[in-house]
A = this chain, B = another copy of it.
Amino acid sequence: MGSGASTANGAVTENLPVDKTLRRFLGYRLKRAYNTIRSELLGLLEPLGLRITTYSALVLIVDNPGLRQSVLAAALDIKRSNMVAIVDELETKGWVTRKEHPSDRRALALHVTKTGSRTCKRALAVCAEHESNLLESMNSDELIQLLTTLEKIESLSEASQ
């Protein structure tokens, strides 16, 4: 896939030199890299009943018991309105509960259940292994550098708002 050179039949596939112009554009590269990682993660998480969004949310709830739904949404850069269905899904599966917030009656405090905690651990293990595969063939300095740069990109556009 990607630059597919030869095919089963004699059909043409004209290997395209993507480099010419487009390759230089960061947005394009980021998209492709994210897409590949995304589809890999999807495959890893699906057997556990998780999607990337529900997985990310679950991890944050585990690490921050009593978390407000709106804070969770902000942390994941997801609109409050879109957060509802995600927490709904986690609640339906019995992994997360919405409780009253101790000091603010408008808010909901999110907590993990025992099964939720177990699922989260398994998911974390699976994803950690996936990342370690990347790490192995990538050199850990390189990865750290990547994460730092990505963070920089985020904070940059944050500033220009």
Q: Which residues of A contact B (CB under 8 A)?
A: 1-4, 12-14, 16-18, 20-22, 24-41, 52, 56, 59-60, 62-64, 67-68, 71-72, 74-75, 77, 103-104, 124, 127, 131, 134, 137-138, 142-143, 145-147, 149-154, 156-158, 161
Interface of chain A, helix or strand or loop or mixed? helix
**Are A35 and B77 in touch, CB under 8 angstroms?**
yes
What is the count of identical protomers in the complex?
A: 2
B156 touches A134 (CB 8 A): yes
Residue of B nearest to A78 (CB): B35
A16 to chain B, nearest CB (A): 5
**Cα distance, A4 to B20, chains bound together (Å):** 40
